[in-house]
Amino acid sequence: MELDELKTAWRTLDQRLERGNEINLQLFRDRRLDKARSSLRPLFWGQIAQMLFGLVFIALAALLWSDKPDVINVIVAGVTVQAYGVACILMAGLVLGGMRRIDYSSPVLDIQKQVAGIRRTYILSGMIAGLPWWFLWLPILMVLAALAGVNLYGHAPALIWSGLGVAAAGLIATRWLLRWSRNPKRPRLAQAVDDALTGASLRRAQAQMEELRRFEQE
């Protein structure tokens, strides 16, 4: 075999190997992206459930408005309940919007940034949906009592004020516990809290993206 023929054969083999590597990389990328999409499905349905959850509070407030309350503390309680329902729906919508905007054809780093953005919104959504329950049970109780024709604050103001005190103490304790758990001296606890706030779906999706990023860099 002449030198030119050998060079041509070697170049052809090299091109085939390069195409093979590109195909393998694309197949690996497609598998990881499919797994990432599958990982986010529970998150999607979780946000749908949160929207339905929010609708329950809006419906409860609507029942109160249909009775045309004229007592200020009852009106404030109804507005609080309705605002909570709207906030739940709004935050779930923001998470779903972020999921819908993920461009899986983008570079892996860009996809990771998009998933990280969803994670931040999801954590904020969880705080908005969860932390107010230290206080929210009071306006809900007041609305339910008003629907039964009872002004709870007018009949038992001590219950409301003591409930507010307990709620404030609980919220402060929760904030302190969260800050305490994130101390660098307790890395395992900090990681456990972070995992709990992030949710399993997002953690799995982030793991798939990280594995794909490492594979592309090798």
pLDDT at 133: 92
> If DSSP states are collapsed to H, E and C, what string results for 166-178?
HHHHHHHHHHHHH
CB 198 within 8 A of CB 42: no
> If DSSP states are collapsed to H, E and C, what string results for 66-98?
HCCCCCHHHHHHHHHHHHHHHHHHHHHHHHHHH
* Site of tokens 């004020």: 161
Give me 172's structure tokens: 């402060």
Domain span at 20: 3-217
Summarised one tens digit per residue, pLDDT across range 198-214 is 777 888 888 877 777 77
Alpha-carbon gap, residue 2 to 116, rounded angstroms: 56
Compute the Cα dihedral for 46, 47, 53, 55 and give only its sign: negative
Summarised one tens digit per residue, pLDDT across range 19-51 is 555 555 566 667 777 787 888 889 999 999 999
Q: Please count the CA atoms within 13 angstroms of the CA of 139 that sit on its side-chain side.
A: 24
Domains held by the chain: number? 1
pLDDT at 7: 53
> What does each of the 218 residues of the chain score in pLDDT, given as a tens digit?
455 555 555 565 555 555 555 555 566 667 777 787 888 889 999 999 999 999 999 999 999 999 999 899 999 999 999 999 999 999 999 999 999 998 887 787 888 888 889 999 998 998 899 889 999 999 999 999 999 999 998 889 999 999 999 999 999 998 888 788 777 777 777 667 776 777 778 888 888 777 777 766 66
Alpha-carbon gap, residue 105 to 70, rounded angstroms: 56
All residues at 6 or more sequence positions from 204 whose CB lies less than 8 Å from its CB, including other chains: 35, 36, 39
What does residue 164 show for φ and ψ, rounded to 5 degrees? -65, -40
Alpha-carbon gap, residue 121 to 151, rounded angstroms: 38
pLDDT at 146: 94
Axis crossing angle, helix 72-100 with helix 3-66, rounded to the nearest 10:
170
